[in-house]
Chains A and B, each alone.
Chain A
């Protein structure tokens, strides 16, 4: 190479332009990387929000699906009082004569020392005594327990009566009540 032109051609013809291009490329790359990072943060937030939205939709679907049932249950707990509870028994007892089923007065506890103990859902316990035939007692229990699923049996004792061929029953139920 001609010594007069060698360095100018190498430095100004190649090195300097390539350095400028590299600087430009680095600048573009830096800007692009910065934007990319910003986008990744936004995308992560967006994806999380979308996932949360999807979860909410799923929850809404489940809640909607359960809503009727929940309302029915909550209505059951809300509407049933101690008075209506007795009404259900009375209604069931009417199917039998006094010889077949006799209910003695019952006692209430404002809490449940049985199944409801330590459970967040409020409950109370009712103790009831009956003198009845086996068939009448079982049929009455089946009717009332079917109507009132909030009844959970804590105990039942059966002992034949000395007279009259009937059986003495003593029952304790935990009754789930409204919050």
Chain B
């Protein structure tokens, strides 16, 4: 895969492979500094470029608020990749930069500035943000002057928060693109070293304006700030609240340290804003002599207080390096509003919140930006890797679970079991059990002659007052439809004679309680359960009939019982249901009540 191929010429798979390769072979996946602004990084190199001799350089470590002046980079070094690489290596070897996981390069362009007015069709302050976006893509559409170059210069907007209604509310600011290649080399070095090197090119004068709350205060007559650079001077005209109304750019004639006719220009500008005697603050941005400039101002602005601001004293009081460019203060320090109330006015709060002075003029071009996936792409790749890991772990877990479960099942007895019928064995055993059950039932003591005789014997008193004529005892089946056993009915029909003494004795068995009592006695004496009356639904009924003995005669001759005046009939019936334990088992199927199907 060619790393230099633009993604537009690659297939989706190649673009994905490039993303994965960058994620695997560089720190772009893990180090989010690749996608941050240079001023957000912990270790920053601030390069202050005011002329062709090359930039002064300063190291700033954000976490420790540490400043360190570095070796100046000359024009020759800026042109060469190897020299810049050496410089980066030197920076990374500094104590303050050791272990840095990224490096921000902030270039202050103090060597050149252009400003231009917006076109007449773009005079609506409410469209400021949209206009700024248009400035990046197609500045000529926005500018009044359609002949400006967008090839050689980069354009941004800068607002005038103090502008009166109907006045210019913003200006277009341009810087040269000639330093773009230096920043591009630095970014390439970062790619080669796999350490994020993020660049930002700022306009020095705009940051100098943003740093003004450190050095000036609001004046009821208005304020003019004169920023004297080596090649140009910038006027900032502020109202009584110290809000920026306009900036005016004045180039220096060849070799001069100040513009010609500065005083008259200042007077004209002050007059146009109706500032009669504004306070004038002069900044010698690079420490050069500004006497002539001040004299020029004094000659025109007679009633104004003109002050040369000494930044070194203020930096000293704040424990900052005395030779620090004041623009760096705007990018690296935050001001306490209680000490510097100016930071809360419209101009400086807008700059702080909307970062107009921190606009990067020299962005990597779109082609360079397209070569690398964005932070969102990398973040999505990181999330997708986690999702894939989780999904793979779930799959692995499930496979392991299913594997163990399968192994257990396949090694169980049930898995290899081959069914064999044991019905024949069970059937044979069942037959045996049924045989036992049937014989056990059939052989029970349900109907014994000797026990029946015991019952009859106990009905008759031993004193001879009762004589039995005949006794008939029958046992018969008592089928019940749908039952698997036969119930049973026993009957005793007893005829006899009794004397007056014997009659009440035999009659005592003529009720249910009396006969049950004698049945239970028989059961206990003989051990025969058939005579127990309190089992299941057994029932014992009895009927007793008496009459005069027709054979009775007082002589007592003529046969059995003739001497006894009373005759009786005692009929006892005992019933057993099909549910009784003595019911007869093993019956043939009953088709209707009382009939038996013949085999």
Mark A residues whose CB is within 8 Å of B.
1-2, 4-14, 17-18, 21-22, 24-25, 28-29, 31-32, 35-36, 39, 42-43, 45-47, 49, 52-53, 55-56, 59-60, 62-63, 66-67, 69-70, 73-74, 77, 114-115, 117-121, 134, 137-139, 141-142, 145, 149-150, 152-160, 162, 171, 173, 176
Chain A residues contacting B453 (CB-CB under 8 Å) are 134, 137-138, 141, 156, 158
Chain A residues contacting B8 (CB-CB under 8 Å) are 4
With A and B bound together, what is the CA distance between A74 and B596 in angstroms? 26
Within 8 Å by CB of B376, from A1, A12, A137, A145, lies A1
A-facing mask of B414-454, CB < 8 A → 1, else 0? Answer: 11010110100110011011011011101101111110111
**Pairwise interchain contact A60-B436, C-beta atoms closer than 8 A:** no
**Pairwise interchain contact B439-A73, C-beta atoms closer than 8 A:** yes
**Pairwise interchain contact A49-B450, C-beta atoms closer than 8 A:** no
CB distance from A5 to the nearest CB of B (A): 4
With A and B bound together, what is the CA distance between A118 and B369 in angstroms? 108
With A and B bound together, what is the CA distance between A173 and B474 in angstroms? 11
Q: How many A-B residue pairs have CB under 8 A?
A: 236
A4-B7, A39-B414, A43-B412 given; name 5 further pairs at CB < 8 Å.
A9-B384, A18-B387, A70-B435, A150-B442, A160-B469
With A and B bound together, what is the CA distance between A11 and B589 in angstroms? 79
**Pairwise interchain contact A8-B16, C-beta atoms closer than 8 A:** yes
Interface status of B373 (Cβ within 8 A of chain A): yes
Given contacts A8-B13, A134-B457, contact A46 B429 (CB under 8 A): no
Interface status of B72 (Cβ within 8 A of chain A): no
**Pairwise interchain contact A28-B395, C-beta atoms closer than 8 A:** yes
Chain B residues contacting A17 (CB-CB under 8 Å) are 384, 388, 391
Measured as residues with beta carbon below 8 angstroms from the partner, the interface class of chain B is 35 or more
Interface status of B295 (Cβ within 8 A of chain A): no
**Pairwise interchain contact A2-B370, C-beta atoms closer than 8 A:** yes
Within 8 Å by CB of A114, from B7, B374, B475, lies B475
With A and B bound together, what is the CA distance between A154 and B409 in angstroms? 64
Which stretch (B118-126, B134-142, B266-274, B399-407) binds chain A?
A: B399-407
With A and B bound together, what is the CA distance between A137 and B454 in angstroms? 11
CB distance from A35 to the nearest CB of B (A): 6
Interface status of B95 (Cβ within 8 A of chain A): no
Interface status of B377 (Cβ within 8 A of chain A): yes
Interface status of B588 (Cβ within 8 A of chain A): yes
B465-517, CB < 8 A from A: 468-477, 479, 486, 488
**Pairwise interchain contact A35-B377, C-beta atoms closer than 8 A:** no
Chain A residues contacting B452 (CB-CB under 8 Å) are 153, 156
Chain B residues contacting A39 (CB-CB under 8 Å) are 409, 414-415
